[in-house]
Amino acid sequence: MKRYSLTFLALGFFILAVGLSWAGVLSPYLQLILMFVGVNIMMSSSLNLVNGYMGEFSCGHAGFMAVGAYTTSLLTVWFFTTGSVFGPNLLAPAWAIVLFPFLLLFGGLIAALAGLLVAFPSFRTRGDYLAIITLAVNYIVKSAIENVQPIGGARGFMGMGRVISGMKEVADLPWMMIWTWIFAFLTMLLIKRFVSSTYGKGIIAIRDDEIAAEIMGVNTRRAKMVAFMLSSGLAGLAGGLFAHILGYINPGSFGIMKSTEALVMVYLGGMGSLSGSVLSAVVFTLLLEVLRPLQLYKWVVVPLILILLMLFRTEGLLGHRELTDSFPHLKRILGLKEKGHASL
Amino acid sequence: MPLFEVRGLTHYFGGLRAVSDFNLAFEGGELVGLIGPNGAGKTTIFNLICGVYRATRGGVKIEGQNLVGLFPHQVTALGIARTFQNIRLWPEMTVLDNIRVAHNYRLSYGFLDTIFQTSRYRKEEDEIDRKSEEVLDIMGLRDYAEELAKNLPYGLQRKVEIARALVIRPKLLLLDEPSAGMNLSEKEALIGLIRWIRREFNLTIWLIEHEMRVVMNLCEKIQVLDFGETIAQGRPEEIQSNPRVIEAYLGKEID
């Protein structure tokens, strides 16, 4: 009840984005950027779970994105298209409409299992050492894919475009816009619910004082496993969407550069702030596009902006706070409950 | 069967024997002190009991249940709560959230319940909210509920830490130097508070303390530790005049 207007806001945005894409008002380029915003929101807010809320430093987020991207893509291409890798399609291409979200979730599930690669070492080590482990996992995933020749190796994997065409033959809708934003909103809702539960606050307790958390009854091992799996699972979902938006993936796009982008968005928005992560994903994605005319100099200007931000606003755009903490009147406008943990 | 029992507890850090052959038994309802010079092994004993370290030898039992080898959160669930020498609240959380999170030891819902906000989840969260506010009321902390823990003055932080420990409904409460860093009036208030929670919650309390005024005032029985070994135990006035205790604290007189 209390978050009606926020739901309406999300719904309004969704209808607008999908409607304008469908009507052709938004150019394919603008649609692409809008979908990347959605994917980046998923990437930054899921990484924030580990780096912001739990206070660990994971810098291999793109590795999990790759796991999700490849798992989902391989399955959709195998099921719905005829190609050189898997031969004829197993199911009629029209089935993609029904099965796509499930295959996406399956990709997320596999990515979540890959997250255990990081969760187990995190029982014994933290800080810089764990950061190096996450980095290593990123490289392991990338190199592993590069060396599996049947799925294209370093050259990459494609065919997802035909899966989407299959959906469009049934109903001519901007399918990827629809799925991207459905999953982006679900991600936000899920993280919001998780971190405002007593169960999820256990991971904030780990950040603030792990020994106290353990002694005061938080099962820290389980909490870390849940947090890492949730975080990498959501990154896997983002990867699956990313792959189908582009229609082509290669291991090179899931390297350390991609992980760094996710890190930048988390620190730009503010650690432990969900609305910060969403805001920074929007700002960062748009910034990169606006600065595109600068070509290569973009990578001088963007880091410079970041350096300045870190110098003058160390805690990121929103710090540990949420949007409604910084602008209290938003709460009234959005119809949030005044008291307690219902901040956005 | 005693409520709580420690038998032959021994612990080595590498080659260093930090605790040797420590014994203790509580019937229930006692208020016992553990004192000794710096580095005597007092906090190590608490850490061994809570499961932070795993004892090299010896047994710890609460109501007949063995604790050695359990994870700290499992020890907590069996009814042992503690506070820390240097306060360990979760500083970036509100006081209310500090209290809420301490309910984790008995959560019956799981991850999926939080995501789908099932009725089981909502029922339990409501219960946690109610109980947390109740504890804050009892401890007179209601006004600070929405305050970040790090922003409270020292004495109040200590009080919140004790409140957080009480959430667990402990059978045994371990207090590690509760008066550390407090001024005289705060110490007086603390003595009153400890007496009161003991009565109110029907607790067995075991405390480490350096401040003799607090120990001698509060405890019915005192155990003295030096270099990991128990050198004396008894009533406060016996301890005060025990030559071995005086030697441990002040050194030996030269003949």
Cβ–Cβ below 8 Å for B106 and A198: no
Chain B contact present for A190, CB below 8 A: yes
pLDDT of residue A339: 39
- Are B101 and A201 an interchain contact pair (Cβ–Cβ within 8 Å)? yes
Of A208, A214, A215, the CB nearest to B90: A208
Domains annotated on chain B, with CATH: 4-90+154-250 (3.40.50.300)
Distance of CA B127 to the CA centre of its chain: 25
Torsional sign, CA B66, B71, B74, B78: positive
CA angle A110, A111, A117 (to 5 degrees): 105
Question: With an 8 Å Cβ cutoff, is A104 touching chain B?
Answer: no
Comparing CA positions, the residue from B104, B76, B79 lying closest to residue B90 is B104
Residues of A in contact with B106 (CB under 8 A): 217
Paired strand residues for B66 = B61
Contact call for residues B11 and B19 (beta carbons, < 8 A): yes
Q: What is the ipTM, given to two decimal places?
A: 0.90
Range list of H helices, chain A = 4-23, 28-48, 61-80, 96-122, 128-146, 160-170, 175-195, 198-208, 210-215, 220-246, 256-269, 274-290, 298-312, 323-326, 328-333
Contact by Cβ (8 Å): B51, B71: yes
What distance in Å separates the CA atoms of residue A337 and residue A322, rounded to the nearest whole number? Answer: 14
Residue B241 clears pLDDT 50, i.e. is over it: yes
Angle, CA A62 vertex, CA A7 and CA A177 arms, to 5°? 40
Give one word for A152, left, alpha or beta, with left for phi > 0 and alpha for psi -120 to 50: left
Alpha-carbon gap: B73 to the closest alpha carbon of chain A (Å) = 4
Q: What is the pLDDT of residues B182-209, one digit of tens each?
A: 888 889 999 999 999 999 999 999 999 9
Indicate if the alpha-carbon torsion angle A269, A270, A272, A276 is positive or negative: negative
| Tens digits of residue pLDDT in B1-33 | 899 999 999 999 999 999 999 999 999 999 999
- The answer to whether the CB of A72 falls within 8 A of the CB of A244 is yes
pLDDT at A338: 42
**Which of B104, B129, B160 is the best substitution to test chain A (most A C-beta atoms within 10 A)?**
B104
CATH number of A4-333: 1.10.3470
How close is the nearest chain B Cα to the Cα of A255, in Å? 31
Give me the tens of pLDDT residue by residue for chain A, a chain 344 residues long.
455 678 888 999 999 999 999 998 999 999 999 999 999 999 999 999 999 999 999 999 999 999 999 999 999 999 998 887 788 888 888 888 899 999 999 999 999 999 998 899 888 888 889 999 999 999 999 999 999 998 989 999 998 999 999 899 888 899 999 999 999 999 999 999 999 999 999 999 999 999 999 999 999 999 999 999 999 999 999 999 999 999 999 999 999 989 999 999 998 888 889 999 999 999 999 998 998 888 888 888 888 888 888 888 877 887 777 877 777 777 666 655 443 344 44
Q: What region does A247 belong to: left with phi over 0, alpha with psi -120 to 50, or beta?
A: left
CB-based contact A252:A69 (threshold 8 Å): no
